[in-house]
Amino acid sequence: MTEACEYEGQAEIVVSCTQLSTKYSASRAKKIVTEWVELLGNATPLTSLQFTSRTPKRLFAALAGQPPIDAVGREVG
């Protein structure tokens, strides 16, 4: 999923919120990352989280607001 508004309480998600296509303006792309930081800064039922694009440190830092997550990964490619 790309936008935080797509998250509906799933336990396992794959997020691609950076390196977006030209469909998104630069300002919208920055806002998308900020929205994920805000969402991940609050407790969710996540047990597995995979990032599939470059991931800013502030996204990982936001995970401090989560209960323990069984698996957090970043796909490099």
Q: Specify the pLDDT at position 54.
A: 87
Q: Specify the pLDDT at position 77.
A: 59
Tallying the residues shown for the chain, one arrives at 77
Q: Mind listing the pLDDT tens digit of every residue in the chain (77 residues)?
A: 999 999 999 999 999 999 999 999 999 999 999 999 999 999 999 999 999 988 899 999 999 989 988 888 887 65
Q: For the whole model, what pTM was predicted?
A: 0.90
Domain that holds residue 61: 4-74
Both tokens assigned to 34: 């900020």
How many structural domains does the chain have? 1
Instruction: Report the DSSP pairing between strands 12-15 and 48-51.
Output: parallel
Q: Specify the pLDDT at position 58.
A: 94
